[in-house]
Chains A and B, each alone.
Chain A
């Protein structure tokens, strides 16, 4: 049974085209890579300085240390993993043939300079103007914005991956964001477990909807008026 996060990840993966150069943020966006059709080559940008992430090396603490001992001191092991080959979430990764590594200035040249076809990141709130809030909840502990503010700045398409409402059922898609912004007027598309929305000309345009929910139900779960596209598509549900 597909959960909300998997539905979001699958539908974003389907939006990515062969040859796209994409940054996937932490959380649901990371899951997107699992759903990319293997026939497509999507080059993943790691903000900490890599292109071409292939696999994610996961495991419990002991396994990771064992991994460091086994592979940590060899050369040319980018296909199997190395302790100096990580993603922004501090996970060990492997690279595809044709991958490359670089410094932080180069990494954000790619982001800010408009070289990314898409950046996919999580969201706390999105409003009809395409404003995004995803780094700070007033009154709660602040960890910092990391690279998010830069990543949304130049990408050709900014895709927000988030659950449609908060855990408490509060609206996250709003007329106006109430949390501090990550960037103004940057969001192209929001993908939730219920629908796919484009932010266009100050409106939420619903492009696709998950089977089994009515337009009325969707509107009730949304904090701003929805406009439905003439040809409303069905969202994909992963197996």
Chain B
């Protein structure tokens, strides 16, 4: 049997300084909090993060995801659709220490999908007539203008599912899918954080939402509730 279950410290060795990383999750839901916490303890810097947001939601939410990576200065560039409320991120942008590229959320999803699917890009109407189209190729199809948006890939994707088998076949809880299954297709190495590991066969094949072939490491991180 292929057994991808790996200790977190071993799995996270695939992240190197200067890497492009994808971070799954939409705000807290589906965020690989355990992997991010581990990464924040490692001497890794100069990362480019591709993510929906910057890992800080609002003051009354104590569980943090990517926020510590910014506080530690480990990230030099973000490609996100929402910078959010993270005060560190806005301070870094104001000081010019964080490069940022804002991408419409649906375009971000399609660029990642294109990266994972081996496509040369996607043509989208999103952003036509706005600053998003600046510097990009506009291609007319059937008389309508579309922006050519280029694929995104990463060195490592850090993603989170609720449950996976040892081969990496995974299922997600409710709205925690978001960018996770997409990102898992678009990176050279994929680390999957899960709350529960089961034996192959315990997940009905028709219910697998992320096929295990995309996953390199399965890391068990029991969800903790912080009070």
Could you list which residues of chain A lie within 8 angstroms of chain B, going by C-beta atoms? Answer: 46-50, 60-61, 64-65, 68-69, 72-73, 78, 82-88, 90, 95, 101-105, 107-108, 111-112, 131, 141-151, 153-154, 180-185
Interface contact B106-A147, CB-CB below 8 Å: yes
Interface contact B30-A147, CB-CB below 8 Å: no
Partner of B106, one of A50, A78, A150: A150
Residue of A nearest to B94 (CB): A141
A69 to B181, CA, bound (A): 27
Residue of A nearest to B105 (CB): A147
Taking the nearest CB of chain B, how far is it from the CB of A65, in angstroms?
6
Interface contact A108-B109, CB-CB below 8 Å: yes
A48 to B57, CA, bound (A): 14
CB contacts (< 8 Å) of B104 on chain A: these are 145-150
Residue of A nearest to B82 (CB): A144
Taking the nearest CB of chain B, how far is it from the CB of A86, in angstroms?
5
Task: Given the known inter-chain contacts A103-B181, A103-B182, A144-B81, please indicate yes or no for A88 contacting B30, CB distance below 8 A.
Answer: no
Partner of A69, one of B113, B182, B225: B225
CB contacts (< 8 Å) of B225 on chain A: these are 65, 68-69, 72
Interface contact B60-A84, CB-CB below 8 Å: no
Interface contact B178-A104, CB-CB below 8 Å: yes
CB contacts (< 8 Å) of A151 on chain B: these are 106
A72 to B106, CA, bound (A): 29
Task: Given the known inter-chain contacts A90-B58, A145-B81, A146-B81, please indicate yes or no for A84 contacting B176, CB distance below 8 A.
Answer: yes
Could you list which residues of chain B lie within 8 angstroms of chain A, going by C-beta atoms? Answer: 26-30, 52-53, 57-58, 60-62, 80-85, 90, 102, 104-110, 113, 124-132, 162, 172-182, 223, 225-227
Interface contact B175-A46, CB-CB below 8 Å: yes
Interface contact A153-B177, CB-CB below 8 Å: no
Taking the nearest CB of chain A, how far is it from the CB of B48, in angstroms?
17
CB contacts (< 8 Å) of B181 on chain A: these are 103
Interface contact A146-B82, CB-CB below 8 Å: yes
Residue of B nearest to A90 (CB): B27
10 pairs of residues in contact across A and B, judged by CB atoms under 8 Å: A82-B174, A83-B29, A84-B30, A103-B109, A104-B109, A104-B179, A144-B83, A150-B107, A180-B131, A183-B127
A60 to B58, CA, bound (A): 13
CB contacts (< 8 Å) of A144 on chain B: these are 53, 80-84, 102
Taking the nearest CB of chain A, how far is it from the CB of B210, in angstroms?
9
- Which residue among A69, A148, A149, A151 has the maximum number of chain B CB atoms within 10 Å of its CB? A149
Interface contact A184-B128, CB-CB below 8 Å: yes
CB contacts (< 8 Å) of B60 on chain A: these are 60-61, 64
CB contacts (< 8 Å) of A102 on chain B: these are 177
Partner of A112, one of B83, B102, B125, B180: B125
Taking the nearest CB of chain B, how far is it from the CB of A151, in angstroms?
8
Residue of B nearest to A181 (CB): B130
Interface contact B80-A103, CB-CB below 8 Å: no
Task: Given the known inter-chain contacts A48-B26, A49-B175, A68-B225, please indicate yes or no for A104 contacting B105, CB distance below 8 A.
Answer: yes
CB contacts (< 8 Å) of B182 on chain A: these are 103-105
- Which residue among A46, A105, A112 has the maximum number of chain B CB atoms within 10 Å of its CB? A105
CB contacts (< 8 Å) of A78 on chain B: these are 174
Taking the nearest CB of chain A, how far is it from the CB of B16, in angstroms?
27
Partner of A86, one of B28, B83, B172: B28
A154 to B106, CA, bound (A): 12
Interface contact B105-A184, CB-CB below 8 Å: no
CB contacts (< 8 Å) of B180 on chain A: these are 103
**Given A61-B60, A143-B82, A184-B130, 14 extra CB contacts under 8 A:** A49-B178, A68-B225, A83-B29, A84-B162, A86-B27, A90-B29, A102-B177, A104-B108, A142-B102, A143-B83, A147-B81, A150-B104, A150-B107, A184-B128
